[in-house]
Structure 1
Amino acid sequence: MTDAAEGHGAFTVLIVEDDNAVKSLIATALKVQGYRLLEAGTGGAALLEATTKNPDVIILDLGLPDADGIDLIRQVRTWSHTPIIVVSARTEDADKVAALDAGADDYLIKPFSVEELLARLRVATRRLAADSGTDRDGPVYENGDLRIDYAARTVTLAGEEVHLTPIEYKLLALLARNTGKVLTHNAILKEVWGNALASDLPSLRVFMATLRKKIERDPAHPAYLQTHVGIGYRMLRK
């Protein structure tokens, strides 16, 4: 583990990548930002590091020599909620959905810019900081001007009550409880509708559109509800 510089030193990142050039690029960028680092080049080594060193965030390549990264995500999710950012050359939406459904928090396609990777990492660490010392499922959620009182099932924006339908409220509460995490269409449908039927996807899109109109000051440029085309949605941390 490297000594941390000032800044992000409170966070330890496990880089799981078998391409030494890519691993070195990521490691160098993170060191400059002050993150503490752990490294692994195989699935077996990654599991050992994750279980014994308890990293704050995992950056994971899917194409490992001894394991499929999606299987690794599933294994980690049996005992940990550590944010997982996938960095992969797999570009198909089906691969992204599979990784996110398995429990990944974000998905970045190779080749990627260092700036974009750092931005995704900041999202993950902000989520960790926001959750630290708090009950994520506590009675009140606050994010910028948005406030959700789970006990009263009420939503306010800048102090003004927002009237939501039951499904709109369920959608908003689900995304809020997973702030910073990309939730796939399938994951949302299972939680809100109780199934993941493709026939329900148009309904999800309609409800998300109406929800966005109610809580976004400019629905065309959303500040809270981010769309990942073909994948799902994410609540942004303000």
Structure 2
Amino acid sequence: MKDTINILVVDDEDNILEVIKAYLEKDKFKIYTATDGEEAIRIFKEENIKLIVLDLMLPKISGEEVCRKIRAVSDVPIIMLTAKIEEDDKIEGLAMGADDYLTKPFSVRELVERVRALLRRAYRDQNPLADYLVFNDGDLEIDVTKMKVKKRTKEIDITPYEFKVLLALLTNPGQVFTREQLVKKAFGIEYEGFDRTVDSYIKNIRHKIEDDTKNPKYINTIYGVGYKFTGSKS
């Protein structure tokens, strides 16, 4: 995992945020911080976040509710921080979708090790991507870190969900993904109606990056199976 990895740290105590941020930045992670639940959700929607360190006691929207909202659309790894020490509280936190749990006060070095381990487990099946990708001699450019896409050097308007689907295909160029696999890889969830949803995302992406949607050179349909990315990397 040598490329930049975005981590969101959410806590209403500035001193805790700064310490965690400093330690994680030593490991070359890119850190986003939020001091309340609303800000956390906004950042998650706007950035390509790979892991969240989430305090439960937050203003505006609680950490529990933030976790539920994110879990409704993504399986991004979440480490919960809390002052609650009872076993039932820990079980409840894990049940709502957290992947790991640390009780305050905690060792920041231990947190960093848990972040590393969780990232390894969560993304071990993904091929690493460069921060910036160019295809077909500059026809298509993708800034992975900033979640931006350019067509013939002109930035196009792409939604976070469309970008996640495109990125899922890019992790294994040439590999055919079923709709179920794309949902799992892009969003970490499986839900009723996913066939129509994925098809809609693919249709929108094609209209934005293809010269001829009937003869695509980037996202090809494998009839009866799914989709694959076929752009030539420059």
TM-score range, shorter chain: 0.5 to 0.7
Could you tell me the percent identity over the aligned residues? Answer: 35
Structure 1: gaps spanning 5 or more residues: 1-6, 135-238
Q: Which runs of 4+ in 1 moved over 3 A?
A: none
- Residue equivalent to 1:107: 101
The one of 85, 106, 117 aligned to 2:111: 117
Instruction: Give the Cα–Cα distance (whole angstroms) in 1 for the partners of residues 2 and 33 of structure 2.
Output: 17
- SS of the residue corresponding to residue 63 of structure 1 reads coil
Instruction: Give the Cα–Cα distance (whole angstroms) in 1 for the partners of residues 47 and 87 of structure 2.
Output: 32
Structure 2: gaps spanning 5 or more residues: 129-234
Alpha-carbon spacing, 1:90–1:9, altered in 2? closer, same or farther (3 Å): farther
On the 8 A contact 1:11/1:125 being kept in 2, the answer is no
The one of 55, 66, 69 aligned to 2:60: 66
- Residue equivalent to 1:82: 76
- SS of the residue corresponding to residue 32 of structure 2 reads strand
Instruction: Kindly provide the amino acid, as one letter, of the partner of residue 111 in structure 1.
Output: P
Q: TM-score, normalised by structure 2?
A: 0.52
- Residue equivalent to 1:48: 42
On the 8 A contact 1:8/1:35 being kept in 2, the answer is no
The one of 8, 13, 24 aligned to 2:18: 24
Instruction: Give the Cα–Cα distance (whole angstroms) in 2 for the partners of residues 8 and 107 of structure 1.
Output: 25
Instruction: Give the Cα–Cα distance (whole angstroms) in 1 for the partners of residues 2 and 89 of structure 2.
Output: 30
On the 8 A contact 1:73/1:99 being kept in 2, the answer is no
Instruction: Kindly provide the amino acid, as one letter, of the partner of residue 92 in structure 2.
Output: A
Q: How far is 1:129 from its partner?
A: 3.0
Instruction: Give the Cα–Cα distance (whole angstroms) in 1 for the partners of residues 2 and 22 of structure 2.
Output: 14
Q: How far is 1:9 from its partner?
A: 4.9
1:30-66 deviations in Å (ceiling 9; x for gaps) = 1111110111111000000011113000000000011
Q: How far is 1:108 from its partner?
A: 0.5
Alpha-carbon spacing, 1:28–1:9, altered in 2? closer, same or farther (3 Å): farther
- SS of the residue corresponding to residue 86 of structure 1 reads strand
Instruction: Give the Cα–Cα distance (whole angstroms) in 2 for the partners of residues 87 and 26 of structure 1.
Output: 12
The one of 84, 93, 97 aligned to 2:87: 93
Q: Cα RMSD between the aligned structures?
A: 1.7
Aligned length: 128
